[in-house]
Structure 1
Amino acid sequence: MISLKESIRVARPVEECFEYTADFRTTPEWDATAFKARKISDGPVGMGSQFVVRCKLPLGSIELLYTITEFEAPNMVTLQVESWLFSAVDTIYFTEENGETRVDYHADFSYKMPFAALEGALKTGMLRMGKSALRGLKRALDDSNAPPKISSGSARADRLLWPGLAMFSKWGYRRGQKRWSPMSASLKGQTMVVTGASSGLGLATARELAERGAELILVMRNPKRAEAVVSELKVETGNSAIRAELADLSIMAEVDALADRLLKAGQPIDVLVNNAGALFNDWGTTSEGLEQSFALLLLSPWRLTRALHPLLKAAGQSRVVNVVSGGMYSQKLRVDRLEAIPENYAGATAYARCKRGLTVVTEEWAKSWEKDGIVVNAMHPGWADTPGVESALPAFHTLTRLILRTPEEGADTIVWLAAASEASAVSGKLFLDREPRTTHLLSKTREDDPEREKLMAFLEGFELETSIAA
């Protein structure tokens, strides 16, 4: 048997240290040998939870099955580890001492035959890996990551266009993942609003934020689906602070009513995720007479975010995350074309133009709201396999399905912008895979300052028209 005993100290509450470490899906963030982890049991992390962690070997890899056999939050967790190569028992203790948390990691390894005969020779390497993992855990819990910046490889790919587009695939996600820093920030006590949470990116975002302890307000339009999503997330995550708000965000009266309800409740909002959207292949108008793409994709997030500004400001340090699309790279901002007309209508083009407009709005809000402590960023998820993509772009979905990202991979940067400590250090940027990226792959799509000013005045005009009508 090989025994490992290591200790670290971190300036974090014991509850946060326990919650991060006991969820062994985090192991790839702090153990250099681990590169993939998932929870295979149902329900929140606790007694009996099981995780599969894949780790590197000198030749190939190995899959480890972790089972929680003792769970005394927030002070101790024990996991039984099984693989074809060895068995182990990991016990981790968490103790509050002088305003810090001491983490004691005890592990006993037993190699299986015929490798047991080599235990003595393997001991030094195992102890070295254990020490390295604990240093990684300390780094993760210290949560002092550098502000995000684009890598030289990503900047070069963007300049060359096609390599930049290739990064929208699942391979781009996996490439970026190799450079990511741990994300251990606790979201307990934070109120977050996520629009379009019934499926796809919104649901994946809501699930991850709920796992991390955020109090969630999920905006959906279908009452039955909303009830099901809230119920499912509560059971899956053990987080009871989740509720739904019903609103069809393509209807400005419902946007206003939603904002009024939230304003009357008076709860400061720490994060607002503007995710709701759809690609309409056929031209149409809403019941209020607005072209539907423009209403849902641009005017709605503009109107909702502006209305909720007092609650965002009241939070002290808050964030707005605007979900856009890589399709916007094909379009230049032309304010007079934001409301599409029936002649020569193309749903993908209308979608891309509105997302281009929302990106510009993101940059303008970041400048004007900096004094209010509100960080505003945009992200695009790459090519993700969501119900919306499958139904609206069936040909694209068929051609690219082997390289599409999962909804969770597409939503990762939304979660990171909402949760990561270092993500609050920059504002007014467009992100892909946790990196700030260029907003223009083609020089011909760049707008000038007068057009940006025209956009802001155009959107302002809709609020003035509504207030006059009221």
Structure 2
Amino acid sequence: MSFVISVLLFLIAMRWSGFENASKSFVAKDLDVSLVGRSFMITGANSGIGKATAMAIAKKGGTVHIVCRNKERAERAREEIISASGNNEVYIHVLDLSETRKVWEFAEAFKKEHSSLNVLINNAGCMVNQREMNSDGLEKNFATNTLGVYVLTKCLIPLLEKSRDPRVITVSSGGMLVQKLNTDDLQTERAPFDGTMVYAQNKRQQVVMTEVWAKANPKIHFSVMHPGWADTPAVAKAMPQFHQMMRNRLRSADQGADTVVWLAVSRATTAFPSGLFFQDRQPVSAHLPLAWTHSSRREVKVFMGRLETLAMAVKPSDSLTQRSFDCH
């Protein structure tokens, strides 16, 4: 990561680093809810913000489906969550979100095995700093952060629509503020590869997807959020220079998870329109002042169309998936 990019992300992080000040305006009773009978799927829930979110929901009685790529780490996380919450309704699903075909297969199987899903939390993400391809020939950052989220969410929409008070929360990043949606090079085939900027572009793509889904699926409340810059293993590994610069200002995983949990469980959440970008329990602009990062309707349409084409290209051909991509 270049020095200029590090400084830019540092300035953005400074803008949104004060959890203690922000939390002074939080309404405590917003999280005073019972989640017994409600089910939640959380990707990347074996550590960091995902694990903290799963823990908070389990403590309130919710049924938690943790989706992780590493079975052993998932099992350890499950044991810790059950031990701390006293809630045994915690289930492991092993899935690597970078493998798009497997995401499709998992979502189809989950729909057959479960009659409802109240909340989907797209938390898993990756920042691979060198260009790598998955088994389907897709660049790994894009496959995990964008196409995996697209396939999982689109395929689970019918199940969510059948459930009470359905919601989808996607964990984005303030880094997306430095990126405008790029429809011409989704997998960084032509531009120089910078893992930090690829990740930021993916996070901008998540914001755009959320806005589109909110308009197309009015029965479901969609939101996307920036958790603040948290001191998690993923940040330390992917952005060591940034982690070093911000080490005294980074949030804890619990603080990073606060708005995710609030969006997932609070009644106050649905008072806001679907499709907004949140930080510290408040909707905020998805663009910096006087920014050049707004997308035209045409750009958004082209982007969503290309996602659909890429998803269809790796759709399994067995009898489970002979229906149209959006699973309706």
TM-score (norm 2): 0.90
Q: What is the aligned counterpart of 2:279 among 432, 439, 442?
A: 432
Cross-structure match for 1:331: 179
User: For the residues of structure 1 that align with 2:34 and 2:316, how far apart are their CA atoms?
Assistant: 44
Counterpart position of 2:22: 176
- Residue aligning to 2:210: 362
User: Residues of 2 paired with 1:467 and 1:301: CA distance?
Assistant: 15
- In structure 1, the residue corresponding to 2:53 is in which secondary structure? helix
Q: Distance in 2 between matches of 1:388 and 1:352?
A: 15
Separation in structure 1 between the aligned mates of residue 314 and residue 69 of structure 2, nearest angstrom = 22
How far 1:168 sits from its partner (Å)?
Answer: 2.1
Q: Is the 8 A contact 2:129 2:194 kept in 1?
A: yes
Are 2:79 and 1:231 equivalent residues in the alignment? yes
1:233-255 residue CA offsets vs partner (Å, 9 max, x unmatched): 11111001001001111001220
Q: Computing the radius of gyration over CA atoms, which structure comes out larger, 1 or 2?
A: 1
Q: Which letter does structure 1 place at the counterpart of 2:269?
A: A
Task: Provide closer, same or farther for how the CA distance between residues 342 and 391 of structure 1 changes in structure 2, counting only shifts above 3 A.
Answer: farther
Question: Per-residue deviation at 1:444?
Answer: 1.0
Say if 2:100 and 2:311, in contact at 8 Å, map to a contact too.
no
Question: Could you report, residue by residue, the CA deviation over 1:284-334 in whole angstroms, capped at 9, with x for unpaired residues?
Answer: 111111001110000001000111111100103200001101000000001
1:428 maps to amino acid: G
Alignment of 1:196-345 (within 5 A): 196-341=44-189, 344-345=192-193
Cα deviation code 1:59-109 (max 9, x no counterpart)? xxxxxxxxxxxxxxxxxxxxxxxxxxxxxxxxxxxxxxxxxxxxxxxxxxx
* Residues 406-437 of structure 1 deviation map (CA, whole Å, 9 limit, x = unaligned): 11111110000001111022211000000000
**Alignment gaps of 5+ in structure 1:** 1-160
**Equivalent position amino acid for 1:411 in 2:** A
Instruction: Assess if the C-alpha contact under 8 Å between 2:101 and 2:314 holds in 1.
Output: no
* 1:447 has 2:308 as partner: no
Alpha-carbon contact 1:338-1:350 (below 8 Å) kept: no
Aligned-residue identity in percent: 38
In the TM superposition, what whole-angstrom CA distance separates every residue of 1:100-155 from its partner, at most 9, and x where no partner exists?
Answer: xxxxxxxxxxxxxxxxxxxxxxxxxxxxxxxxxxxxxxxxxxxxxxxxxxxxxxxx
Matches within 5 A, 1:61-80: none
Decide which of 393, 408, 416 is 2:262's aligned counterpart. 416
Question: Using a 3 Å threshold, how does the CA distance of structure 1 residues 223 and 451 change in structure 2: closer, same or farther?
Answer: same
How far apart, in 1, do the equivalents of 2:184 and 2:309 lie?
14
Aligned to 1:402: 248
After TM superposition, the structure 1 = structure 2 runs for residues 120-159 of structure 1, keeping only pairs within 5 Å, are none
AA of the residue aligned to 2:56: E
Other-structure match for 1:462: 310
Query: What is the RMSD of the two structures over their aligned residues, measured on CA atoms?
Result: 1.7
Q: Hey, what's the Cα distance between the residues in 1 that align with 2:183 and 2:216?
A: 21
SS in structure 1 opposite 2:164? coil
Q: Deviations over 1:387-406 (max 9, x none)?
A: 00001111111111000011
Per-residue CA deviations over 1:246-271 (Å, capped at 9, x if unaligned) read 11110012201211221111331110
1:342 to partner: Cα distance: 7.2
Q: CA deviation at 1:165?
A: 4.6
Amino acid aligned to 1:437 = V
**Count of aligned positions:** 306
CA, structure 1 residues 249+422, in 2 after alignment: closer, same or farther (shift >3 Å)? same
Which whole-Å CA distance do the structure 2 matches of 1:466 and 1:284 have between them?
Answer: 17
Give the SS at the match of 1:287.
coil
1:93-112 pair list within 5 angstroms: none
Looking at structure 2, the residues matched to 209 and 413 of structure 1 have their Cα atoms a distance apart, in angstroms, of 12
**Distance of 1:181 and 1:295 partners within structure 2:** 37
Residues 175 and 389 (structure 1), Cα distance of their counterparts in 2 relative to 1, 3 Å cut: same
1:162 is displaced (CA, Å) by 9.6
Distance 1:229 1:248 in 2: 17
CA contact (8 A) 1:283 1:342 kept: no
| 2:92 match: secondary structure | strand
Alignment correspondent of 1:11: none
One of 383, 387, 390 as aligned partner of 2:233: 387
Q: 2:222 aligns with which of 376, 399, 414?
A: 376
Q: Secondary structure at the match of 1:329?
A: helix
